[in-house]
Structure 1
Amino acid sequence: MTAAVSPQRAPFGARLAAAMTEFGPLCVGIDPHPGLLAAWGLADDIAGLRSFSLTVVEALGGKVASFKPQSALFERHGSKGVGVLEEVIAAARDAGTLTIVDAKRGDIGSTMAGYADAFLADGAPLAGDALTVSPYLGFGSLAPAVELAHETGRGLFVLCLTSNPEGKQVQHSVTTTGTSVAADMAAHAAALNADAASRGELGSIGLVVGATIGDAARDLGVDLAAVNGPLLAPGVGAQGAGAAELAQVFGGARTSVLASSSRGVLKAGPSHEALQRAALVAAAEARDALRDTPNG
């Protein structure tokens, strides 16, 4: 895509790379599960949702590379819950921390364009800095989101190789060209990041790749290093994957990995200080696990 980036905003890939360098390769999920709300002494209602979510932003804003609010856990509270998600996105923006809205949207035509407008357009209350999307109606169905993300300097994280067992049914399947579905998705992302690669920058079209998938990327011919985009990886550090596992999954692409941690950090709350300590530990664990050499 050649659309001009919003003049007020550098491309998402470049902004994320800078944040990862400054704060470490950690994305803190904002996942207001009923169990976590209860553990914090909060009710599973709008007041509890708002208190929980904004406490995370207040404690960690400006101290981590990014936040990832899970849209479903706000949507379950109806329109008022979506309103809290809007507050969280705005608060993170004010704190100077990148936000990846985890909504996993995917559709066709004007419906996908509507999702793009909701989550990626300048001025949209739900627009963070990036959005997770599902390509399983065909990668081309994501075109409205790709175009708007490039126009506004935002990013996308495309589901590629997830760690849930059910994902294999689609992601490990072979296409009519003889490549795996996952490899095809990664190749499309790489093509969209080609301009950034030519400038020596991290691209803005990333992938979601589980950190505990073992040899799946290699076995399926998925060239993660060639993507030249951020790789959002649940399961790093205390969540299960250490240096050896990450070397196995990501190989030479480890410098592009953004480790995602939700409960591992959030269970330390509601104390600001405890959340900050947990995030520092998680960021250090992720940085150590993603060294260029497993024992380095």
Structure 2
Amino acid sequence: MAEPFGQRLRGAMDRHGQLCVGIDPHPGLLTSWGLDDDAAGLERFSLTVLEAVGEQVAAVKPQVALYERHGSRGLAVLERVLAEAAAASVLTIADAKRGDIGSTMAAYADAWLRDGSALAADAVTLSPYLGYESLRPALDLARDTGRGVFVLALTSNPEGASVQHAGGTDSVARRIAAAAAADNRSAAGLGSVGLVVGATVGSAIADLGLDLAAVNGPLLAPGLGAQGATGADLAATFGPAYANVLGTSSRDILAAGPDPARLRAAAERTLAGLAG
């Protein structure tokens, strides 16, 4: 069995800091980089980002939907990005937000977490809103292959509160966090069942009584930079759990392209803000 994802991520965070760069090839970014909105432009964009920043950050996070919109050619590009990252020992988080039941969930797990799958990443994002236990095929396969998952728990989009905050002191978000903590209980070091918690959720963590430090898993926190969050905000928002936070920045760094040196400099500035 491979070294568990949580341990590998902790090592990468210790070496490189708490930054994950999103590889988000939005049509507007492709245009601003002087690239066509097609598979060739998608590949050039993605590999440039990976080569520029991959070895200086803890992980990269391809946004799967922006590859899917190009059909089979886009997924072929994603396969290459994942393979190139693996060859360079760069951790990947496939931002796919998959969630279903039974054999369908097992098929999603097979695609993103099985050894030998062309789409296998080091970790994948999952949606638990058919019930946390509906994710069990992915949770079990990730454990067996040394991979990880990030379960959506407390997102910063306004619509998320209608589901995630429901229940008050016994909120949906709190139950998801408790379930992840139970799955991480036997982990040696950082567990491999992480949560997605928005960098801009503000006081919601305290308001809902979430003990994120007790989760003992990585906390993927999108929202750095263009969405307004700073490193200081993350430290204040996550408090005792901050050491397990992997801050994610996409547009703020990607806007510096296509020049690799400028991409690296943008990532370095973001890292400096996290360290401060």
Aligned to 1:74: 67
Normalised to the residue count of structure 2, the TM-score between the two structures is 0.97
| Structure 1 SS opposite 2:100 | coil
Size of the aligned set, in residue pairs, is: 276
1:268 corresponds in structure 2 to: 256
Q: Distance in 2 between matches of 1:233 and 1:46?
A: 29
Indicate how the Cα distance of structure 1 residues 34 and 193 shifts in structure 2: closer, same or farther if over 3 A, else same: same
Task: Classify the secondary structure of the residue corresponding to 1:157.
Answer: strand
Aligned-partner Cα distance in 2 for 1:254–1:131 = 21
Determine the C-alpha separation between the residues in 2 that align with 1:65 and 1:204.
15
Whole-angstrom CA distance in 1 between matches of 2:272 and 2:94: 24
Find the partner of 1:35 among 16, 28, 33: 28
Per the normalisation by structure 1, the TM-score is: 0.91
Stretch moving more, 148-157 or 54-63: 54-63
Give the structure 2 partner of residue 153 of structure 1: 146
Other-structure match for 2:269 = 281
- Counterpart of 2:174 (choices 164, 183, 190) is 183
Instruction: Give distance in 2, aligned partners of 1:211 and 1:61.
Output: 22
Shift of 1:63: 1.8
Runs of 4 or more, structure 1, over 6 Å off, are none
Q: CA deviation at 1:236?
A: 3.0
Moved more, 68-77 or 276-285: 276-285
Q: Deviations over 1:89-143 (max 9, x none)?
A: 0011111100000000000000000000000000101111000000000000000
Once the two structures are superposed, what CA deviation does each residue of 1:144-169 show, in whole Å capped at 9, x if it has no partner? 00000000000000000000000011
Which of these residues, 193, 215, 223, is aligned with residue 203 of structure 2?
Answer: 215
Write the distance in 1 (CA, Å) between the matches of 2:82 and 2:33.
21
- In 2, Cα distance between the equivalents of 1:125 and 1:143? 22
Q: Indicate the percent of aligned positions where both proteins have the same amino acid.
A: 63
Alignment partners' CA distance in 2, 1:276 and 1:247: 23
TM-aligned CA deviation for residue 244 of structure 1: 5.0
Could you say if the C-alpha distance between residues 24 and 48 of structure 1 is closer, same or farther in structure 2, counting changes exceeding 3 Å?
same
Contact in 1 for aligned 2:256/2:266 (Cα 8 Å): yes
Structure 1 equivalent of residue 47 of structure 2: 54
Q: CA deviation at 1:239?
A: 4.2
From the superposition, tell whether residues 105 and 120 of structure 1 become closer, same or farther in structure 2 (CA, over 3 Å): same
Instruction: Please give the secondary structure, in 1, of the residue aligned with 2:124.
Output: strand
Give how far 1:204 is off.
Answer: 0.4
Q: Deviations over 1:187-219 (max 9, x none)?
A: 0000011111xx3x0110000001111111111
Shift of the 207–77 alpha-carbon distance from structure 1 to 2, 3 Å rule, reads same
Gaps in structure 2 of 5+ consecutive residues: none
Counterpart AA for 1:126: L
Match among 81, 105, 112 for residue 88 of structure 1: 81
Question: What is aligned with 1:230?
Answer: 218
Q: Distance in 2 between matches of 1:273 and 1:42?
A: 18
Aligned partners of 1:184 and 1:284: how far apart in 2?
34
Residues 1:241 and 2:229 are matched in the alignment: yes
Q: Structure 1 residues 148 and 216, CA, compared in 2 at 3 Å: closer, same or farther?
A: same
> Distance in 1 between the 2:57 and 2:70 partners?
27
User: For 1:82 and 1:267, how far apart are their aligned partners in 2?
Assistant: 23
**1-side partners of 2:211 and 2:275: how far apart?**
22
